[in-house]
Structure 1
Amino acid sequence: MADTPTLSVTMLGAGQEVGRSCCVLHYRGKTIVCDAGVHPAHSGMASLPFIDDLDWSTVDAILITHFHLDHAAALTYITEKTNFGDGKGKVYMTHPTKAVHKFMMQDYVRMSSSTSDALFSPLDMTKSLAAIIPVSVHQLITVCPGVSFTPYHAGHVLGACMFLIDIYGLKILYTGDYSREEDRHLVKAELPPVRPDVLIVESTFGTQTLEGREEKEQRFTNLVHSIVKRNGHCLLPTFALGRAQELLLILDEYWKKHPDLHNIPIYYASSLARKCMSVYQTYIHTMNANIRSRFAKRDNPFVFKHISNVPPQRGWEKKIAEGPPCVVLASPGFMDNGPSRELFELWASDSRNGLIVTGYSIEGTLAREITNEPEEFTSMKGNTIQRKISVEGISFSAHVDFSQNSEFIELVGAQHVVLVHGEQTAMGRLRAAMNSRYKERNEDVKIHTPRNLETLQLSFRGERVAKAIGALADKPPQTGDVLSGLLVAKDYSYTLLDPRDLRDFAGLTTCTVTQRQKIALGVGWALVRWHLEGMYGTVEEGLDKDGIPTMRVMGIVDVKQTAEHELTLEWESSSSNDMIADSTLALITGIDKSPASVKLTTNSHSHSYEHSDPGHVHPHANPEGEASSVMRIQRLAMFLEAHFGEVELHMPEPDEDAELPEDERRQPALLVELDHAEAEINLVTLVVNSSSDTLKKRVEAVLDMALTTVSSLSESFVSGIPVVSDDVALGLSQQDKLGASVPEIDSASAVAMEVAA
């Protein structure tokens, strides 16, 4: 369809990059924003998404997938520093995400307030938190009429979810960051039960294939063990929350199995993590079966036996660096500042020490730079430091690799796939690989890799599917069956059901609307009937339950004579019934203005009938006194002309054919012409002759109807025409030719009728 609406997808961040995720969806006048993060490699305004390219007052909802800064830290700026508050927009995230987001933002504000690049104040952050609406996984949330969404587990971190968004029937699945592998404490990402039209999915690792979880954990613990056994310090830069908890569970279990390591301390250098540990313990029920089982046995997995927090006093970094071997998990994971950066600068020049980068490192950060193992680097104070510390990378980032991502994309089965949250090269490789797969299977799936501020306009097939429910769904239809029921539409979602199920499934009831229309009338009841029969064929006549004379048209419209000069039309309203009622109303209101159109020619071969002039009494006004055969012929001619147009009466001259035998003499006849074909009706025998079988049959049918309406042609026609007896005029024409007898016509039904215009 030419006017089919399109979905607009605009990336304000995370378009061919990792960081400042922010995706804008616009469809049918509704706007949804998914995620609002900052870019870890930048600071201040440069870290924000391109927020100036959107009128935030038009946004209906902001959906935050998880608490990581690159997905949620710009939310406060948007709610408090843009015109978002001028509209009716709402902010949604899951309960665990909101709980951790609070602590994350407090720490973010504390860290940024010491610089000149602070984006907002602690008060702004507090006000923003108050506006967040927490939701539960699998809960259907209606944002506004026509817009709803359902969160599903995404793995990745505590509380992370993907959103299945429904905008007027168009379904979009936005994954955010997700993991399809169950780890030590989280469930894997779910496959939503509904097939979306659009999938917006991360592409962080492109076409890379990562190690299996068991092999990765073994390599990690062996590497940590070897570093501390060579009297070195092991640095694990991590984010305060998310992957850090997974590493803590792995290390605590490994230390428990190796008594020789019990004298080597493991420190968790994050005050933020201490605050959030209560959140993890509160939301145990959202984690996997292993964690829930341990917790049910009163074995809290987040009460670590071999891990402690660093001393709270200032300068603890130097004391630990100068002390015996140890393992330290320090934030942030990108190592641009904070404890992880300070410890790295202290330990970098000693070859006994080791650095293990455990997460995905974004381009432009020290973590990405150091994985290339440079011989030296620049400290935060500007000094050059020689790098002798060993560097290893083992990814615990909980993002999908190529095999997991490609499998999920194919299982979702969306018509359009939009790749986000990936660097240009990785994203391009994933797109090429997926296109190749679909091409081999001859599947028409569009893969998109939009840049920041590039707007995709996505169109979809116009057909929509109606789901049969209730009684209609009890017996599956066979090929060729036709389902009939009520089509219920809600927000462009369609359901077909039996009218009896309407109350149970839709909370609605059916009713019948009876319409009535009164008409002032200046003609007789019989004249109305004649016109109705001429238009609709048989008309049922009788009395209604109140004894009022009624004619029923096509079994639908009742025409009632409710007063001497008044008719009332009554019918049950529906689209088809209303059309029949409208045509009946138009016919009746035009009866008294309908002109007669029959002419009688006056030349030697034909005569034309003229209407009575206005000064004469209407020829149909007094049927009781009409004995003239001319009037009967005129009625028949008028009836025929109502169906076929002009009718000619051919009369033989008195002396014409006088010498011929009586059975060969020419008879008076009516001539009908239609579409260059002619039919002649013998007025003595009422036999129809025509070279066109089609026209002959039509004239015979109309002639039969005319004979049941007008009075019999039993008297002589005009002077000089032989008298035709009833047996000849009626018996031959009706019994032999038409096969039916004409009922007696009383004076009321023998009223001469005008021709319907």
Structure 2
Amino acid sequence: MSTNFSGRVYMTHPTKAIYKWLMQDSVRVQNTHVATSTTSGTDGYVNQLFNETDILNTLPMIQTISFNTTHTHNGIRFTPYPAGHVLGACMYFIEIAGLNILFTGDYSRENDRHLIPASIPKNVRVDCLISESTFGISTHIPRLERETALMKSVTGILNRGGRALLPVFAVGRSQELLLILEDYWARHEEYRKYPIYYASSLARKCMVVYQTYIDAMNDNIRSKFQAAQAAGTGASDGAGSGPWDFQYIRSLKSLERFDDVGGCVMLASPGMMQNGVSRSLLERWAPDPKNGVVITGYSVEGTMAKSIMLEPDTIPAVMTNRNQPQGGIMTKKTGDEKVMIPRRCTVQEFSFAAHVDGQENREFIEEVNAPVVILVHGEKHNMNRLRSRLLGLQKMKVYSPANCEEVRIPFRQDKVARVVGRLASQIHPPTLLPSPPPSSEDEEAEGEKGEKKPRVEGSQLVSGVLVQNDFKLSLMAPEDLKEYAGLTTTTVLCRQRITLGAAGTELIKWALESTFGGITVVSGGQGETDGNVNGDIKGEDADEEIVRQEPVVFEIMSGAVKATCQPETGEVELEWEGNTTNDSIADAVMAVLLTVESSPAAVRQSSKMHSHSHGENGGFGDDTAEEPKATVKNSFHEKNMGRNPFTAITPEERLSRLFMFLEAQFGEDAISPIATPKLPMENEYDEEVVREKAEASELARLHGLGIPVPGVEIRVDKAVAKVWLEKLEVECGNKTLADRVRAVVERGCETIAGAWL
């Protein structure tokens, strides 16, 4: 039906060629079909699901592909393989996020006269197989026996002076039957007096497609075509030159041109005989016992093709009543009366349906060996019988969902990320370490083999950006995003200003250190405020030169937020890169700045000495003259003016606090420092002197970063975890312990204000 689908449609070249004719014929059938009481409850024309304009609009959306070629669309890889059902039919091998699905559709493994049989894709692993189950567990008669029985039935009808009706589908089995009849007539001259017709306008149009796509057929057709070309008469040069240019078969454009006299063989569509040419001929020929109907394909329940195999005495007239128009519309039936036609013709069935039988389907499923099988395209009874047979093998899970029923099947697969770019240069293959001394348990496990596996160095911790593209994972450094992922990074720079009328830079620095620990002064200095911590501007003589004070920039939390103070104006500007963490830090800095002038701690810290008396005279009169003048001093400079006490924590003190935190989690005896640094793996140190120099250089570098020891070793029972403090890397053979240690260490570092983050 007409939908808003706007994606791509992939199909083979012959399928697209047939698609146009097939869908246009479907529109024509809709236009002439009469609704019955079973569909709409009223007579007349049924509503169209789609029209010819809708069909033409779909053609640009179709992309044609060839067999055995792999294609990718939005990360989904798929490969079409011949299905052997009709010309151009294929089954798809689909790869989605590492999951391999083989969808057979309608398929056949039989070697017929023109199609390539279905085969299992080579060297692929199938996780889920979606297979048809049309015939359940039924088994077909061998093809040669079926062809012999078919021709015996057809010639028997002709020998008694009757007409043989073979209802067929326009595309598929009709072409196979035409090849069988043509071959038999060519070998039996006595039957050439009986004409063979195929009455289907759609089959006639599609015959051009069959003549075009010879390369999509099997060796039988290709060899005939090549032989015709070698003889100098190509398929387009004249009648009888190609495999699809028949000598004894003619196309019947309409029944009005059909001279219904004497015996003949008629292939007519549709195959279910619900309406159309095949139903008209059935109603015309059914009363004559000389005539015969030969069913050659699969018959659906509820259709005339299925019911006539029960050999009823009468059949309902559909096309006969329809051919009596009144006023340009279809005639209506009065009451519940139905026009019935007696059936005296013979009925026989020979299955030439291009579907696998039960044995072929079971062998195909076992050969694919998929752990999950989903059965589709079959009647419920046949599907359940095949499902029971497959479950008896105890090799797979089998599902047979009904129409529109959703099936949820969990598939667990490892996800592997590919490390690319500069990050890949930091990863090196694991090195084999000498085997440890064997324990009693190891000796028992060793058994009679006497083999020992060398230990492999622990896994490496890698930090980067994980990018998923087309279901593929890639790990890379942020700097490589543009080159390897085609992504450009954007930084949102945030700024916010506030004016503090009384607080100077020293008071701001003290308040920030009280909250965030040590901060870094990027520019400006502690002495630049000239002792005026509250921002009071001293008077200047007119002749004095005005000294401009440079702005002071503080970096908070390792540069997450920058605070620029303008001593002359009292303006403080915050600047940070917008993200969740930095936004939270900026909010905290702003909260500190908004309270720096009014909090009791700030008032006490910025208080000044004064020289006047608080006596009864209020500091006036004779009392003031007798007392010596006190020197006005700024208590702010007297009390640790240079540094906030919270920032005076040394790296050794922070390490001690981290050890205390870890000992509370794992016990005092479980924690010990690592004195030897971790050296880069790519460097080989054959000489001991070179190794010692490298270790000394690495220790000096770590000490320069404020890291007293390279790492911490944590022992829990027999498991050992190493924590390298520079990047907080955790090395441990036990994944559970490694995850726990990593969480505890990260929480501990956050608690002590991020010593090495």
- Taking structure 1 as the reference length, the TM-score comes to 0.54
Over 3 Å counting, the alpha-carbon distance change for 1:315 and 1:229 in structure 2 is same
Q: Which amino acid aligns with 1:244?
A: S
Letter in structure 2 aligned against 1:318: D
* Equivalence for 2:703: none
Superposition map of 1:146-225 within 5 A: 156-158=85-87, 177-179=106-108, 183-186=112-115, 202-211=132-141, 216-217=146-147, 220=150, 224=154
CA separation in 2, counterparts of 1:349 and 1:399? 35
Q: CA deviation at 1:586?
A: 4.2
Secondary structure of the structure 2 residue equivalent to 1:100: helix
CA 1:355–1:265: 2 relative to 1, 3 Å: same
Whether 2:56 is the aligned partner of 1:118: answer no
The answer as to 2:373 corresponding to 1:394 is no
**Contact 2:401–2:407 under 8 Å retained in 1:** no
Determine the structure 1 residue equivalent to 2:402. 449
Q: Does 1:404 align with 2:361?
A: yes
Name the CA shift for 1:457/1:340 in 2 (closer, same or farther; >3 Å).
Answer: closer
- 2: distance between equivalents of 1:562 and 1:195? 66
8 Å contact from structure 1 (residues 138, 150) kept in 2: no
Q: Secondary structure at the match of 1:448?
A: coil
Deviations 1:216-245 (A, max 9, x none): 556545655666577765432112233212
Residue 370 of structure 1 deviates from its aligned partner by: 3.0
Shift of 1:594: 3.9
243, 246, 266: which one aligns with 1:304? 246
Query: How far does residue 119 in structure 1 lie from its aligned partner after superposition?
Result: 1.8
3-state SS in 2 of match to 1:102: helix
The CA deviation string for residues 261-291 of structure 1, in whole angstroms up to 9 with x for no partner, is 5555432222332233234445556556765
Is 2:508 the counterpart of 1:555? no
Distance 2:136 2:6 in 1: 30
Matched, 1:273 2:215: no
**Cα deviations across residues 502-524 of structure 1 (Å, max 9, x unaligned)?**
44665433344444444434534
Q: Is residue 496 of structure 1 aligned with residue 425 of structure 2? A: no
For the residues of structure 2 that align with 1:267 and 1:412, how far apart are their CA atoms?
Answer: 45
- From 244, 247, 258, the equivalent of 2:177 is 247
Which residue of 24, 28, 33 maps to 1:106? 28
One-letter code aligned to 2:267: L
Superposed, 1:487-566 pairs within 5 Å as 487-488=466-467, 495-498=473-476, 502-503=481-482, 506-521=485-500, 522-543=502-523, 549-557=552-560, 559-564=562-567, 565-566=570-571
Counterpart selection for 2:58 from 125, 132, 137:
132
1:561 and 1:568 in contact (8 A); partners too: yes
Q: Unpaired segments of 5 or more residues in structure 1?
A: 1-35, 37-55, 68-92, 598-609, 644-689, 695-738, 740-755
Q: Deviations over 1:444-486 (max 9, x none)?
A: x654224xxx764858689995864865899999895666544
Does the 8 Å contact 1:137/1:150 carry over to 2?
Answer: no
Counterpart-to-counterpart distance in 2, 1:617 and 1:181:
111
CA positional deviation for 1:359: 0.8
| Partner of residue 305, structure 2 | 367
**Contact 1:99-1:279 within 8 A present in 2 as well:** no
Distance in 2 between residues matched to 1:481 and 1:307, nearest whole Å: 75
The residue that corresponds to 1:49 in the other structure is none
TM superposition shift of 1:120: 5.0
Residues 78, 93 of structure 2: 8 Å contact kept: yes
The alignment partner of 2:558 has SS state of: coil
CA spacing shift, 1:364–1:318, aligned 2, 3 Å: same
Superposed CA deviations along residues 100-152 of structure 1, whole A, max 9, x for unmatched, are 32134335535659995432589x73344344345134599999xx9999895
Distance in 1, matches of 2:192 and 2:90, equals 38
* Equivalence map 1:600-639=2 (5 Å): none
Task: Give the counterpart of 2:315 among 363, 373, 378.
Answer: 378
Task: Tell me which residue corresponds to 1:422.
Answer: 378
Query: Under a length normalisation based on structure 2, what TM-score does the superposition of the two structures give?
Result: 0.54
C-alpha contact (below 8 Å) 1:237/1:358 kept by paired residues: yes
For residues 97 and 216 of structure 1, the distance between their equivalents in structure 2, rounded to whole angstroms, comes to 30
Q: Is the 8 A contact 1:291 1:301 kept in 2?
A: yes
1:355/1:390 contact within 8 Å kept: yes
Deviation sequence 1:290-342 (CA, Å, 0-9, x none) = 656765744443222332224856373631xx24xx43212221234444345
Tell me how far apart the structure 1 counterparts of residues 269 and 428 of structure 2 sit (CA, whole Å). 59
In structure 2, C-alpha distance between the alignment counterparts of 1:128 and 1:332, rounded to whole Å: 23
Distance 1:228 1:295 in 2: 32
Is residue 236–residue 328 contact of structure 1 (8 Å, CA) maintained in 2? yes
Alignment partners' CA distance in 1, 2:244 and 2:590:
82
C-alpha separation in 1, matches of 2:120 and 2:632: 84
Counterpart pick for 1:328 among 266, 275, 278: 266
Q: Which amino acid aligns with 1:378?
A: I
CA contact (8 A) 2:270 2:276 kept: yes
- Report which stretch shifted further, 398-407 or 101-110: 398-407
| Alignment CA distance shift 1:225-1:508 (3 Å) | farther
Distance 1:532 1:416, change over 3 A: farther
Are the counterparts in 2 of residues 224 and 234 from structure 1 also a CA contact under 8 Å?
yes
User: CA separation of 1:505/1:337 partners in 2, compared to 1, >3 Å: closer, same or farther?
Assistant: same
Contact 1:317/1:339, CA 8 A, preserved across alignment = no
Is the 1:97–1:159 contact (alpha carbons within 8 Å) kept by the matching residues of 2?
A: no
Change (3 A) 1:342 1:455: closer
Match of 1:97 in 2: 19
**Aligned partner letter, 1:96:** I
1:129 maps to amino acid = I
**SS class of match (2:31):** helix
Secondary structure of the 2:169 match is coil
- The RMSD of aligned alpha carbons is 6.0
Rounded to whole Å, the distance in 1 between the matches of 2:462 and 2:97 is: 25
Deviation at 1:257, TM superposition (A): 5.0
Matches within 5 A, 1:10-89: 60=5
User: Take 1:547 and 1:635, find their aligned partners in 2: how far apart are those partners?
Assistant: 19
What number of residue pairs does the alignment pair up?
533
**CA offset digits 1:143-166 (Å, max 9, x no partner):** 9xx999989566533455679999
| Cα distance in 2 for residues equivalent to 1:627 and 1:526 | 9
Secondary structure, counterpart of 2:165 in structure 1:
strand
The percentage of aligned residue pairs carrying the same residue is 35
Corresponding letter in the other structure for 2:402: T
Aligned to 1:30: none
Matched, 1:314 2:256: yes
Structure 2 unaligned blocks of 5 or more: 37-41, 236-241, 321-338, 431-457, 525-548, 612-630, 650-659, 665-707, 709-752
8 Å Cα contact 1:237-1:340 kept in structure 2: yes
Cα distance in structure 2, aligned partners of 1:240 and 1:200:
27
Larger RCO: Structure 1 or Structure 2 (Cα < 8 Å, ≥ 6 residues apart)? 1
In structure 2, the CA distance between the partners of 1:221 and 1:529, relative to structure 1 (3 Å rule), is farther
Q: Quote the Cα distance in structure 1 between the aligned partners of 2:400 and 2:507.
A: 71
> Could you tell me which amino acid in structure 2 is paired with residue 330 of structure 1?
A
1:617, 1:395 → 2: CA distance? Answer: 115
Distance across 1 between alignment mates of 2:279 and 2:90: 31
